[in-house]
Amino acid sequence: MPLIIAPVELPDFDAIIAHADIYEPGDDLVAPPNPVAWPVATQAEAQERLRLLMGRQRQRFLEDPTARFMKVVDVAGSYSPTTSDDPMEPISKFIPQGDIIAIARWHSFPKGYSFDSMSHWEVATLPHNQAEWPPNFNQPLHDFILLSRDRARASWIPAGQPAWVLMHLVTRSSQRGRGAAGMLIRWGIEQSEREGTPAYLEAGVQGKPIYEKYGFRQVGQGVKLDLSSVGKPGVVFEMANMVRRPGR
């Protein structure tokens, strides 16, 4: 079945949350480090995790002007016109109708990335109508990984210079190997190339070879986080800092 890339729209967050009602626990669009910080074993746990995490992503969609949310949809051969019934209209004028199998959140920083102005988005925040986190969510672990990752950017992303940064990319586990991640990576590369701006990201051990395939190269030694102080004794979380410069 064909895959189509398109911008995320506000109703998509409800569709993504509904994945927990349909698929096996964990076969959803929850990106790292959440599978480590917030493991789920039951449908009820998966539903709560997806509801809270996607609620935060929805808020960012509405309030973060740097964010560019993109999705890959398995359209199952169907399209719905947005502006015209003319069959000759380009596909870009059509909304894909089908299952969202992958999402990415790229960020555009024309004046450079700033940890101080962006870090509040990475701290897990309870919705106003919920008193506490579920017992299976390790909030200190979640916040430690993301804030450490973002704080380290000052050491390898040049301050005050334009940048595209990939902060979030995930494919449903049952849909991996179909090329969805590559579509989302290429979209960001296209924006970077058009503007003549470097693209940056942090990759896990498994993801690094995928990004290298698209021209990203590691910068420095990367990040190694000892998680002993946040409930994971002896566990080290590794990330490679990667950049792709325009024209590569």
Whether 226 contacts 141, CB under 8 Å? no
Q: Name residues whose C-beta falls within 8 Å of residue 48's C-beta, 6 or more positions apart in sequence.
A: 134
Q: Name residues whose C-beta falls within 8 Å of residue 96's C-beta, 6 or more positions apart in sequence.
A: 4, 6, 73, 75, 78, 79, 80
Give tens-digit pLDDT for 211-239: 999 999 999 988 899 999 999 999 999 99
Write down the domain spans for the chain.
3-199
Separation CA 186–CA 29 (nearest Å): 19
Assign 1 a pLDDT band (cuts: 50, 70, 90).
low
Q: What is the mean pLDDT of residues 192-207?
A: 95
Give tens-digit pLDDT for 35-61: 999 999 999 999 999 999 999 999 999
pLDDT at 19 over 80: yes
pLDDT at 91 over 50: no
pLDDT at 95 over 80: no
How many other C-beta atoms can be found within 10 angstroms of the C-beta atom of residue 223? 19
Give tens-digit pLDDT for 99-126: 999 999 999 999 999 999 999 999 999 9
- Output the pLDDT for position 97: 63
- Output the pLDDT for position 92: 38
pLDDT at 80 over 70: no
Q: What is the mean pLDDT of residues 164-187?
A: 97
When the pLDDT of each residue in the chain is averaged and rounded to a whole number, the result is: 91
Separation CA 44–CA 46 (nearest Å): 5
Query: 210 or 78: which carries more pLDDT confidence?
Result: 210
The reported pTM is: 0.89
- Output the pLDDT for position 79: 44
Which top CATH class is 3-199?
alpha beta
Q: What is the mean pLDDT of residues 137-142?
A: 97
Query: 200 or 130: which carries more pLDDT confidence?
Result: 200
